[in-house]
Structure 1
Amino acid sequence: MLLAILLPGLSMILNGHLLKGIICFILQITLIGWLPAAIWGVASRNNDLNERRHREMMAAMKTGASR
């Protein structure tokens, strides 16, 4: 979470969002754009965690339904 706040572009790149990470890094370079970039980085990370949790839940439901 700290990486998403301090270096949101790098956080996005590490999560597999290359183009978003580059755009976020360009936004972060400007002093005014750093805060929106940090918010975008945290929101993107939370969205990735929610999607992973959803996929795991769906896989567990499919496994439970096949028993």
Structure 2
Amino acid sequence: MLLAILLPFLSFIVRGKVLTGIICLILQITLIGWLPAAIWAVLSLNNERADKRNDKLIKAMRKNQK
């Protein structure tokens, strides 16, 4: 989470989203664009975590139905 706030572009690159990281870096280069880039990175990280959590719950529910 700290990486997403301090270096938003690097947060994307570490998660394997290189093109998104480059776009975020371009946005982050401007002083005004740094805050939206940081917010974008944090929201993206939270969404990815929520997707993983939902997938895990769906797998557990399917396993219980069988």
TM-score normalised by the shorter chain: which range applies? over 0.9
TM-score for the superposition, normalised by structure 2: 0.93
Distance 2:10 2:30 in 1: 16
Q: How far did 1:16 drift?
A: 2.1
Q: Which runs of 5+ in 1 are unaligned?
A: none
Higher helix share: 2
Give the secondary structure class of the aligned counterpart of 2:31. coil
Secondary structure of the equivalent of 1:32? helix
Amino acid at match of 1:7: L
In 2, the alpha carbon distance for the partners of 1:56 and 1:35 equals 32
Match of 1:23 in 2: 23
Match of 2:64 in 1: 64
> Cα deviation per residue 1:7-65 (whole Å; 9 max; x = unaligned)?
11110111222211110011111111000000000000001001000110111111111
| Alignment RMSD (CA, Å) | 0.8
User: Which segments of structure 1 move beyond 3 Å, counting only runs of 4 or more?
Assistant: none
Number of equivalent positions = 66
TM-score normalised by the chain length of structure 1: 0.92
Identity %: 59
Paired residue type of 2:10: L
